[in-house]
Structure 1
């Protein structure tokens, strides 16, 4: 479906929004205003799909706001999860061979890089990969990447590889990692620290969102997307309408023509309220 001169803009059928830095306030909370806007969208029959870099195990905090379908796209498109039931519906794994090739390449290019792993069984990491926030109090396997990914290792069905460097500038780390390993996997970032996030080739927020929309008969022209970091760029380019929040990374602000208020000022809710009002008026 496309919009041509003289034809009205398609009705909004799906809101695709990033979470941290976009929809959520500092501390990962949902404001009262944003919660009300999400509930109003759900009541109006507009799907709201959270499309996030977060792993499935970090989604319970937002489960009351996930909408009637109960589903979120996690790990930059690597997993689709039923948030309410805590059940993985589908994953898009990175092969062991590709993961090991990325690890070997980044170690050679960027000494000091350490790795962690998201997979259906949870989380695992190398000893040099420090965990300072989410997941730090969870029991998880720790060991060399080659052992964790080996035939007797804990990691099975890896859908996101994380690489952390002790002191590189975050944007430089992303650029350097892509320069040597982009042919092996999708490499992006969403964190303020030198941490890159790695998925199987062709697996991005956009690819998994497009798959979801196709399965539900939703055209991209009917999708409005929101984001703030480089891992949102493919999704924002794919959606029929896209907004960057005011606090977004400079690359995102430059790439997206429509901007809204910051996450702390309920930027997503502001747009969503206007879209719902416009759709109601045209009904």
Structure 2
């Protein structure tokens, strides 16, 4: 019998995989993400932010907060001092207390949102965040009202201080489920503005159409020649989703909203357990 011969082919080598680009920018939310529940920044987190900058990685705070509430992190706003506030509606130089850019909600759109949301969710009360202050309706429970805050019907508030752009309209409902309220608002008035939320209560944050943490972060990165693939982002609530989806690498802290956990590629520990710091340490180490 003739010997059986078998032809063996040398396996093809797998195509080399391109290494992910080295991170050049870290973008992190504050409340529920970087900050602990007592609104402090831990020593470990401060050390991690400093180490990132020492490694040549810029750090951007990207938050729903107005600039005047950034004092808790003002000393740690990176060497450039730039922060994206009000869910992308404003860019501030916190070192100089200077508004660098604003992407406001037009008053006509705000009035349309008010009318349509009142019809869709009776009992909704409104407040407005302008570049230099916060004002609210009498029916809006304002836990963070300030000495110069004005209380009046929202139509009056929107007609007043027109030299100050509207960064956010806020809508609060006393009994609605937060996620259901968000869905209702988007159906009713989504053609006029962007709706999101970051509070555990039925409190919506309403920005100009096309304005989000992602759009403004993308602008800031483009100015610096940084691509999305070079950005690592951290968040915990629905107002972070656009940013997390845009960034090349996204992390949800363990305490994040279910939608954020589902949308992100990586997990880290909860905000009270220094989750952002842990992840930054790994990023710097190349892990």
**TM-score of Structure 1 vs Structure 2, range by shorter chain:** over 0.9
Q: Which residue of 1 aligns with 2:154?
A: 145
Q: Which residue of 1 aligns with 2:173?
A: 165
Q: Which residue of 2 aligns with 1:232?
A: 240
Check whether the contact 2:249–2:265 (CA below 8 A) recurs between aligned residues: no
Q: Which 5+ residue runs of structure 2 have no aligned equivalent?
A: 1-14
Shift of the 179–170 alpha-carbon distance from structure 1 to 2, 3 Å rule, reads: same
Shift of the 142–5 alpha-carbon distance from structure 1 to 2, 3 Å rule, reads: farther
Query: TM-score when scaled to structure 2?
Result: 0.92
Q: Give, in whole Å, the separation in 2 of the partners of 1:55 and 1:49.
A: 15
| Deviation of the 1:5 alpha carbon | 4.7
Task: Choose the corresponding residue for 2:48, options 3, 18, 37.
Answer: 37
User: How is 1:133-212 mapped onto 2 (pairs within 5 angstroms)?
Assistant: 135-150=144-159, 153-155=160-162, 156-212=164-220
Cα RMSD of the aligned pairs, angstroms, is 1.3
Query: TM-score when scaled to structure 1?
Result: 0.93
Q: Which residue of 2 aligns with 1:87?
A: 98
Question: Which is greater in Rg?
Answer: 2
| Deviation of the 1:6 alpha carbon | 2.5
Give aligned pairs, total.
Answer: 272
Of the structure 1 ranges 79-88 and 211-220, higher mean CA displacement relative to structure 2 is found in 79-88
Check whether the contact 2:33–2:270 (CA below 8 A) recurs between aligned residues: yes
Q: Which residue of 1 aligns with 2:29?
A: 18
Check whether the contact 1:246–1:259 (CA below 8 A) recurs between aligned residues: yes
Q: After the TM superposition, which parts of structure 1 deviate over 4 Å for at least 4 consecutive aligned residues?
A: none
| Deviation of the 1:57 alpha carbon | 1.2
Please give the per-residue CA displacement for 1:88-132, whole angstroms capped at 9, x wherever unaligned: 111101111100000010111111111111111211111111112
Q: Give, in whole Å, the separation in 2 of the partners of 1:173 and 1:270.
A: 34
Q: Which residue of 2 aligns with 1:256?
A: 264
Check whether the contact 1:77–1:209 (CA below 8 A) recurs between aligned residues: yes
Please give the per-residue CA displacement for 1:225-275, whole angstroms capped at 9, x wherever unaligned: 000000011100000000111100011111113111111111111110111
Check whether the contact 1:60–1:84 (CA below 8 A) recurs between aligned residues: no
Q: Which residue of 1 aligns with 2:273?
A: 265
Q: Give, in whole Å, the separation in 2 of the partners of 1:22 and 1:5.
A: 36
Check whether the contact 2:235–2:244 (CA below 8 A) recurs between aligned residues: yes
Are 1:127 and 2:138 counterparts?
yes
Q: Give, in whole Å, the separation in 1 of the partners of 2:16 and 2:173.
A: 50
Shift of the 275–102 alpha-carbon distance from structure 1 to 2, 3 Å rule, reads: same
| Deviation of the 1:175 alpha carbon | 1.0
Q: Which 5+ residue runs of structure 1 have no aligned equivalent?
A: none
User: What is the SS of the residue equivalent to 1:80?
Assistant: strand
Are 1:55 and 2:73 counterparts?
no
| Deviation of the 1:154 alpha carbon | 2.8
